[in-house]
Amino acid sequence: MKKYFGTDGIRGKVGEHPITPEFMLKLGWAVGRVFANGHQAKVLIGKDTRISGYMFESALEAGLSAAGAEVRLLGPLPTPAIAYLTRTFHAEAGIVISASHNPYEDNGVKFFAGNGRKLPDEIEFAIEEKLDAPMQLVRSDRLGKALRVDDAPGRYIEFCKSTIAREIDFSGLKIVIDCAHGATYQIAPRVFDELNASVIVLGNKPDGLNINEDCGSTQPRLLQQSVITHQAHVGIAFDGDGDRVVMVDHQGQVVDGDELLFIIAQAMQANAQLRGGVVGTLMTNFGCEQALQKNGIEFVRAKVGDRYVMEELQRKNWCLGGESSGHIVCLDKTTTGDGIIAALQVLAVMVASGRSLAELKAGMHKLPQIMLNVGIKQRLEIQKHDDIQLALKKANQQLNNQGRVLLRASGTEPVIRVMVEGEDGALIEVLAQELADVVKKAAASSN
């Protein structure tokens, strides 16, 4: 088991170990030493807009320099932009300072290898080994230098636009974009504007403290209202670091990651572009699986987390996968989940087909699904609590094979996620609350 790395890098509350300047300094050094391999490594650093990013950027830069690594500072950019630029700069690694959809009080770091993909386990273990070793600086003449990359946004904008066919033009489309006061606040409006869409922008005034606050992909209510008010064709909401997206149709209805995945998969299949099937997760709505299979598209589930979706895609040599949260991976376009690129693919389908987002999603019938989060103060072994297991068994019996129940610990937040899915909306709401109450009681007794 890893000591510091979770399912998506290292994350936590700012000021609480390991999210401290001291740790980030040592982490930068450890990364620099692991990627050195006898030569001077080049490492990119990008970040989202939360205020602590300045502090951690400086600490990581100092640690990398102390290890002899060359540093390239990208400034505020979406996480997938760092993945792309790590490849195009032929860098050994890319670092993203972000806590994704979490509030500003949290922060963390994610990593990309030189191929633009998340680090393999062996590299994460090697970094952790260095973190527990004494920090030794290279000679003064071997210290790394740091340079700021001023044209990084423009490079990524051009890449995003290149992922749709040249003949696709968004003229006539009115789009509302919610940037969550996060990393897409400069990038996303320019991408859609340069493709000739009429763009109305929300959440593009970050102050370091308002990232994800009542906005973005996790809080799309303002976007829903704005789409109706402006009579827009579609709304697009990103999370704080831009690797997730949800959309809103012209009727103000949210279109989540499962529905977007279905729309993209169906279009790719129709154009003979879909390689293999589609990878979802344990949380993917059963209606998505049914709709894909109805269209002759194979579907498999991975554990929750984009790294597990990616692992399954690579294992099967498929190109499309994603999560209900809107983390969609189009491996035929890029190397990681990318909110802007996923949104572009959906808009391209709308333009090419002449159909609205509401019409495109109509081919998938979502089963009612309830998700509740139960806060925990320390790790809770769900399998070892008899009361929880008994409640799970009872819930499955009541669903009578007409739904699913899933309990799992979040990989990014101190919560247990309780999910119940089935045709009977009233029943699943009751079952979800009963399960949440049992988990809450078990968590309290474990403290």
- Domain residue limits, the chain: 10-151, 170-253, 256-366, 369-446
Rounded CA-CA distance 214/202 in Å is: 11
Second-level CATH architecture of 10-151: 3-Layer(aba) Sandwich (3.40)
- Joined together, the tokens standing for residue 148 give 């700021």
Alpha helices in 371-424, H assignment, sequence order: 386-399
Strands (E), 168-306: 174-178, 198-202, 234-238, 245-249, 254-255, 278-281, 299-302
Rounded CA-CA distance 440/412 in Å is: 19
Report pTM. 0.91
Second-level CATH architecture of 256-366: 3-Layer(aba) Sandwich (3.40)
- Joined together, the tokens standing for residue 52 give 């602590």
Rounded CA-CA distance 8/422 in Å is: 30
* C-beta contacts of 251-254 below 8 A and 24+ residues apart: 251/358, 252/224, 252/225, 252/227, 252/228, 253/224, 253/358, 254/220, 254/224
The reported pLDDT for the residue numbered 325 is 94
Closest CA to 247 of 220, 214, 271: 220
Superfamily of domain 170-253: Alpha-D-Glucose-1,6-Bisphosphate, subunit A, domain 3 (3.40.120.10)
Q: What angle do CA 205, 180, 420 make, to 5 degrees?
A: 165
How far from 23 is each of 16, 62, 124, 175, 434, CA to CA, in Å? 10, 12, 15, 42, 41
From the list 52, 100, 226, 324, the catalytic residue is 100
| Domains 10-151 and 256-366 alike in fold | yes
DSSP character for 253? -
Q: Strand pairing partners for 146?
A: 71
The reported pLDDT for the residue numbered 413 is 78
The reported pLDDT for the residue numbered 305 is 87
Ranges under pLDDT 50 in the chain = none
What is the CATH number that goes with domain 369-446? 3.30.310.50
The reported pLDDT for the residue numbered 20 is 98
Q: Is 98 a catalytic residue?
A: no
- For the chain, report the end-to-end CA distance as a whole number of angstroms: 22
Rounded CA-CA distance 333/78 in Å is: 16
